[in-house]
Structures are given as C-alpha cells and as structure tokens.
Structure 1
Amino acid sequence: MAAISGLPASALDDACAGTQVSRPVLRSEVLRIIRDEPVDVMITTGGATFLAGEEFLAAFAAREAPIAVLMATRRTDTKVLARLREAGVPVERIEFPIDVDELRDRVQASLRAAHEPRPQPDPDPTIAHPESDEAQVEEESMPNINKTLEEAMKIDGAIAAALADWESGFCLGTAGGGTRLNIEIAAAGNCQVVKAKMATMNELGIKGAIHDILITLDDQIHLIRPLRRGDTLFLYVAIDKVKGNLGLARHRLQKLEAELVV
C-alpha cells in the first residue's frame, strides 16, 4: 500500500495505530486468515477481484464476526463491491490520493463497526447492480481467469501458471505447480521482478509497454507477460526447458493475454 500510495510505511502504520498489523501477499494466506484469524479490518490495494469469488465469500459468511474491508484502488470494480455487499461484507472505497488522517478515521470507524451486530447489506445508490450482475461476475471474472490458466497449462512443457498483481503482490489465480514449483510463492516473488523493471523504465524515461520478461534457469523457463488492459496484472507461466518451445509459448501466452477478461 505504501508503494501504491506514495506514502511512507511509517505513516500508514501510524494510521493503523492501536491495531496489530499483518501484511499477507499470497491468496491462500488471505483465505486462511479470513477463515481462521480474529481479523477486524482488511485493507486491499488492488487485485481484490478474487475476494468476490465463491470460496472467499463462503469464508466471509462463515465467520462469527464480520471483517470490514477498505478497498484502496485506482480503478474500483463496482461489480466486486456490489457482490461483496450483497454477501454481507462491509466494504468501503478509499479514494486516491490517500489522506492519512482520513485513513485513520476510516480504520477506527471500521474497528468500531466490526464489534457491532452484522448489518443487513443496503444497496449502494451509486452502484448499479441488478440481479444479473452477480451471474455476470461469476461468468466473466473468476471462471475466465481459471479457464485462461487451464489453457496456459496446455502449453507444451508447462509446469505451472498464475495471474498476479505486481503492484499489490496478490495472486489472483494459479494452476499446476505441485512438488516441482510452489507457484504462489513464485508468482509473489516475480511481482518484485516486474515492479523493479517498471521502476527502472520510469527512472530511465523509457516509454512503451513491456511485452514479456524471460527468466531462464537450468531446467525451466519462466515467462512473464504483463496485461496491457490490466494495468498492474501479469500472466506468468513456468515451462520445462526440455519439453517446451519458447517461441510457441510466447505466441500462446500473447494470445491468452489478449483474450483474458478481468
């Protein structure tokens, strides 16, 4: 959040004074915390679409006490907000630029609300969310991501695939991996690779988009392709160096990136 907002981490910690702060970056860890930990407030900074997935909504609903969600993003997905609110998750938007004093007030208000009885969600008049929106989110968001990752796993020699948000470090979806590669850790680590490359390009004044980033290991090829329509999202696939074909893999990943709707 500090990297996105441009505020020092100390200022954000001060805004959350009186709370115990943790900073998970893996999707599986976020799900575990929602299921098992006594959390009152969650602040997201992008890549929050997965919170509206069935697995996460079920975890929110199963809690005895609700988690208040503060969503700080440059581009707010109104369908995600609507779906979370319809499921009874108290979610609010934080606009950019972030004001530390306002953030402090919002955190404290959320902490107070977290200890009140769970309210029935009220419709937000600023958000149009007909009944078809819920089905549309289900049909076009997570299933589309899962299908794309399944198709990525059909690339010759594919070991694992993921869709991640390099700005927040969140992993929106994974496929494959197993004992050969922990794909969630790999995707989270490569968020730093993409972030560093973006910062270097900005420092050098290089214009234009990154088409892909290639990392070659002894027995694997890791291919990263930022989404041109997803701002901070990237597709990531690890390929067996012997079984795969780099040219075909790049062509296939380019096609999947063009077809993906998030």
Structure 2
Amino acid sequence: MPSTVVRSDVWQARLAEQGTSDRISVRNLQILLSAGVDAWGREKQQPVLVTITLHLKKPFDSAAEADALDSSTVHYGKLSKSILERLRANDSHVTTLALTGQVAQVSADMADNALRALTAEVFYPKGSMLGDGAGWSWSYYHLEKSFSKVLHLRNVRVPCLIGVNANERLQKQPLIINLWIECAKDHRCDQYPALEGVLVKAVSDSSFETLESLLTFVVLELREKFFTKDDEGSYIRLRVEKPMAVPLADAPVIEILRPVIPEHRGAGNN
C-alpha cells in the first residue's frame, strides 16, 4: 500500500476507526540544539521541546496485571533517555525535518512490535517573534501507511483594527492567532519565520468589522505571498481569538480550514 499524506483530523479519524488504542506519551522533553531556525531565520542553537506519542497495537493489560513493564508497553524513562542521546549525537546543524525523523526512528525502535502509530513533534519556543513558538509534527499510522505533517505557529499576538462597535473603530486591539499548515510540504519545515511575517503584516494592516472577513482575507494573502503551486495538497487551518470582545468570556473564537490551492483549481488530499 503506497503512503499518503492526509490532514491531522483525517489521520486521527482513520486511527480511531480501528478501535481504541492505549497510548504512551512524553511531553516537552527539553534539549538545547542547533536545529531549525530562530525567529530571525538564523541557524542557531536554541531550546527545543520534543513530544512523542506512541499508539499501541494492544492494551497493556499484561503489564498492568503483573505491575511490571513488559513487551506490551514502553518504558518512558528509557525512551526519553534514548531520544536525548540520539539528538545530542548531532555534531552539526540539523533541520526540523531531520530532527523529527530522528525522534520518530528512536521511538519506533524502542516500541518495536507493540507500535500501531506514532506522532513526533518538535517545538521551538524561540521560533516566533510575536507568539509562543513554532512547531512541526509528523505522524505515521502503520496499518494504512498514512502520514500527517503539520507546521504550526502558536498564539501569535497581533493588534489590528477589528470590530463593528464605534469604539472598536478608534483603536487597534489584540488578536491571538494560531496557524496550522496541514499536509505541509517537507521543504516548508523551517520556513515559519517567513510564514509569520506574511501573517502578521496581513492582520496588522487590515481593517475589518468581522473576524470572518479577516480570516478569509488572511488566507488570500497567504496564498498570494507565501505559497506557490508546489504547495498543492496542503491546507491552511486558521484560528483567531478576540480576547477583548466579550467581557464575561475569555474570547470569541473563529476557525476556518481552506486548501492552499482553491478547490476549483484542483486542490488535492482529504
């Protein structure tokens, strides 16, 4: 069966169709590496957070009954140590794509025959100028040989003129933006500073009354100023929060999903 790249929600649905699966995760394993690029696009040493999630083929009932680790589960302490040892072995700069591949390979070797699927994520807290960071996640489901590849800008804070009320037309207010590029092409893995630049300029220079209009405009700007025809099959998932809008709520939230290449022009995957 040939491998296919699908959106993360499609990947999760396909995995769920096969029944429940026990999971082992290690979240935000910290290391300092020369990897990816920083917020200025430079190949510099920076903090890296690694998260790995292993979906097991079978429940780890035998380990639970014996109250001891066996082949039905994974020793997360040894898994963490093995990942760190492999990443520290890099003696030169490494791309985000290569780094994620190393994490996934070590994890697959550790899980051996117990593994059904895995997700490896690399996150750079210093990879965003105005947000919480940038990340790349890579998921693989063995049975269907399906991949998910996602580039993510997390919680980018941008002030802009937005709203229908008279006071909102007088002063910019902050928006919190999350942007995911679903089915992202491999060469995009370290282009998050450029992506953020287009996003921030599109939002900060805009003046809309509704979030719906703003999000649609941002998609058009990304299509025109960041993506090319080589990105066909990728998707833009864009979520915007407006924290100052509703006094008794954290924020109203609008989220959309659009193909990078409009469907009438022949966009691809599910």
TM-score range, shorter chain: under 0.3
TM-score (normalised: structure 1) = 0.27
Q: Counting helix residues as a fraction of each chain, which structure ranks higher? A: 1
Q: Counting strand residues as a fraction of each chain, which structure ranks higher? A: 2
Higher radius of gyration, 1 or 2: 2
TM-score (normalised: structure 2) = 0.26
